[in-house]
């Protein structure tokens, strides 16, 4: 194949699978990794693909911050399915933490708790969804409000969290990357999420399939502290890693 034919093949494979790897392309096209990397660089410079570690993808792997009012309208059906599956993990008289994000807001909407329930949350939108339940005690963390996520961050929230220990943490994230781990767009939010993980017995990640293969500015944690991942779909490379690490993967469709 000449340059143009290789470029067309690479674009076709990315459109078909969503991503390609350098190793696979080397085998399929019988060329060196140097040649493939030059091809991917050319295609990225042309605005046709996004390079990633070891390959390329059709979607920008770097997740940027967007207002919660915009994000809640994206992947609504998937978020509702994830929320419904997550709500089944809550038991009577539970004490849980719910992080910020639109998927966790969908969880709050979906919840119909039996018995008493205590919820610690940093998210104002989650609190507003839960105050309608008379049997739910909501502990709203205090701090500086991030307008984009309508959630609080900062030392006040971190200090308050140190006084609790909860059975489950339901955490929404912006990126899940095989190398970088779990991340969010805000460094302050990431630090608060780390504290939430420290005071939770079980860490449950809620993420629609668009979050896989992406990374954001603030790293929250690697996969060693994750217990469950709930999504509408999980790429095979992530499923294999989760299985090897004993992380439960729940796919809801």
Q: What is the pLDDT of residues 156-175, one digit of tens each?
A: 999 999 999 999 999 999 99
| CATH number at 3-57 | 1.10.10.10
pTM of the model: 0.75
DSSP character at residue 143: S
Which sequence spans correspond to the domains of the chain? 3-57, 68-251
Report residues of the chain scoring pLDDT below 70.
Answer: 60-74
Q: Can you tell me the distance from the alpha carbon of 6 to that of 14, in angstroms, rounded to the nearest whole number?
A: 12
pLDDT at 135: 94
- Cβ-in-10-Å burial (0-12, 13-18, 19+) of 2 comes to exposed
Mean of per-residue pLDDT scores for the chain:
90
At residue 72, the pLDDT reads 56
Please tell me the predicted confidence (pLDDT) of residue 1.
82
At 58 the pLDDT is 79
What per-residue string of b and e applies to 40-60 under the rule 16 or more CB within 10 Å gives b?
beebeeeeebbbbeebbbebe
Supply the pLDDT for residue 136.
96
> CATH for 68-251?
3.40.50.1360
Dihedral sign for Cα 241, 243, 246, 247, please: positive
* Residue 67: per-residue pLDDT: 58
CA atoms within 13 A on the CB side of 56: 26
């Amino acid at each position: 194949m000449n340059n143009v034919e290789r470029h067309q093949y690479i674009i076709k494979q990315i459109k078909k699978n969503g991503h390609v790897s350098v190793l696979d392309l080397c085998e399929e096209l019988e060329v060196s990794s140097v040649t493939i990397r030059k091809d991917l660089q050319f295609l990225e410079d042309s605005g046709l693909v996004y390079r990633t570690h070891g390959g390329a993808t059709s979607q920008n792997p770097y997740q940027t911050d967007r207002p919660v009012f915009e994000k809640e309208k994206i992947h609504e059906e998937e978020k509702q399915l994830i929320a419904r599956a997550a709500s089944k993990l809550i038991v009577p008289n539970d004490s849980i933490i719910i992080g910020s994000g639109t998927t966790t807001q969908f969880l709050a909407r979906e919840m119909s708790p039996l018995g008493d329930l205590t919820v610690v949350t940093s998210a104002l939108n989650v609190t507003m969804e839960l105050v309608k339940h008379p049997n739910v005690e909501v502990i709203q963390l205090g701090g500086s409000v991030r307008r984009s996520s309508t959630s609080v961050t900062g030392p006040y929230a971190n200090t308050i969290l140190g006084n609790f220990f909860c059975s489950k943490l339901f955490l929404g994230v912006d990126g899940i990357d095989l190398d970088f781990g779990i991340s969010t767009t805000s460094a302050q939010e990431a630090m608060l999420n780390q504290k939430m993980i420290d005071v939770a017995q079980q860490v449950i990640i809620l993420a629609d399939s668009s979050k896989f293969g992406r990374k954001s500015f603030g790293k929250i944690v690697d996969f060693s502290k994750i217990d469950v991942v709930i999504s509408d779909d999980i790429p095979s490379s992530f499923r294999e890693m989760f299985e090897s690490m004993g992380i439960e993967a729940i796919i809801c469709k």
